[in-house]
A and B are shown apart, each in its own frame.
Chain A
Amino acid sequence: MLFRGVLAGALLLSAGAVMAQQDLAVQQDNLMRTQAKYLYGVISRTVRGQSPYDQAAIDAALVQLEESVGKIATVFAVNPKEDVFGGDYGSSPKIWQNKADFDSKIPPVTKAINDAKGKIKDVASLKAAYTEINDRCNDCHETYRLKLR
């Protein structure tokens, strides 16, 4: 009886651990998706002419992008050791092998966002800013982002 109780407890605990890991992976994925929403869903679509140029939306997207980018280092503090179930992309374990290097990729993104503020007036200047910010994102994705399938 005691044995069965311990067994059940152990099972529950490990299930909880799995859930926590999956939660963490989802949390990290969501942070990236939030940034994608502003950078790609708003800014890139405007650059491509798929959305009309809306200064207020652009300015708001930049502010929210910066806020979200500021959370990367903490949200990615712990390795979830698994990918989001059903996801096409994941984080490379290299993030946690070289966490300091990973973190060092973030300030250039923030700087690119800040440099862009107040300079965006039309699609042409937006495109220049987009290229500068997006290239800094890709610098990190090169090493730390995986296409899983």
Chain B
Amino acid sequence: MARNLVLAVSVVAIVGVAAFWWLTAPLTIAQMQLPPRLSVPAKGLTVFNAAGCSSCHATLGQPDRTKLGGGLAIPSPFGTFHVPNISPDPVDGIGRWSEADFVTAVIEGTSPAGAHYYPAFPYGSYQHARLDDIRDLFAYLKTLPAVSGRAPGHELPFPFNIRRAVGIWKLLFLDGKPFTPDPGRSSQWNRGAYLVNSLGHCAECHSPRNGLGGIVEAQRFAGGPNPEGEGWVPNITQKGLKDWSEEDLAYFLETGTTPNNDSAGGSMARVIRNTSQLSAADRAAMAAYLKSLPAVDGPPRPPRPPRKNG
């Protein structure tokens, strides 16, 4: 009897582990899945700016946006992430990566070694990117200077340090669908929708997250507490931006200046450094799309500034 019980428990455990392993297998994209194509680094520059790569990956403490040595620490409710080097350095960066390695990393959130990246790397948005855009981006990154040096490892307490478990997170919160244009909308709106939802990854900060760190889809773009710690991320649906015109939004993305004569702060200052480099047409497209978002109530804002404890 006892032997049977041990046997039953063992079988359940083995099936459970096997199921976990199977469910959490990192997805990859093979080179043979990428049709032959000549990538265009100049187009990759636009992708680089739209995707805000340098916001996190630029070498810390220097102004050159093209030195991608990483090192930024990103605090979160799950621990602190340290941004890796994505410069073409063969040892510390992505110099030895194949194109398929890179596409897999950005679209699937899987490293060349076959491990999950943590979703602090916003592949939840990048998964919607066009393959050709990511291939052009890779070609552009290859033209940038190699920077040596590695960031320290992430500081994550148990159980968040189990990378394999990110596979479950991906099952819960990723749909793996590329962006599909809405034929009922203008090409400008569709360009904006693509930039905002995919490369621009605006929803990653401008949406509240649930206890597992997944975006609350019903409140997408409705703002919430800053996941990086202090402060509040604004609602960018028409609930928060109804007084902003499209031109106001485009000017904000260019300069960081708001229509009520104020300025962007926090991580948005880094975002503006990227969007200011985009074409006026791309900024106008993002503005047109954002202006079309229906008003959605976000989490309740703090009623008034709380006392600080220095």
Please report A residues at the B interface, Cβ cutoff 8 Å: 36-37, 40-41, 44-45, 48, 79, 81-87, 89-90, 92-93, 96, 130-131, 134-135, 137-139, 141-142, 144-149
For the complex, give the distance between the alpha carbons of A111 and B170 in Å.
Answer: 48
Residues of A contacting B234 with CB < 8 Å? 147
Q: Which one of A41, A96, A146 contacts B230 once the chains associate, using CB atoms below 8 Å?
A: A146
CB of B179 within 8 A of chain A? no
Query: How distant is the Cα of A96 from the Cα of B266 in the complex, in angstroms?
Result: 17
Whether the Cβ atoms of B310 and A93 lie closer than 8 Å is yes
Cβ contacts under 8 Å, A96 to chain B: 310
Q: Is B33 in the interface zone, CB < 8 Å from A?
A: no
The number of A-B residue pairs with CB atoms under 8 Å apart is 92
A and B contact pairs by CB, cutoff 8 A, 17 listed: A36-B263, A40-B261, A44-B255, A44-B261, A45-B261, A79-B310, A81-B310, A82-B308, A89-B265, A93-B310, A138-B269, A141-B264, A145-B266, A146-B265, A147-B232, A147-B234, A149-B232
A142 and B302 contact, CB distance less than 8 A = no
Nearest-Cβ distance from residue A106 to partner chain B, whole angstroms: 16
Which residues on the B side are within 8 Å of A37 (C-beta)?
261
Distance (whole angstroms) from the CB of A93 to the closest CB of chain B: 6
User: Do A44 and B232 form a contact, CB below 8 Å, given A147-B266, A149-B305?
Assistant: no
Closest Cβ–Cβ distance, residue B169 to chain A (whole Å): 28
A-chain residues with CB within 8 Å of residue B302 when the two chains form the complex: 148-149
Given A131-B276, A146-B265, 9 more A-B residue pairs with CB atoms under 8 Å apart are: A37-B261, A40-B257, A85-B304, A90-B308, A134-B256, A134-B263, A137-B263, A147-B234, A148-B302
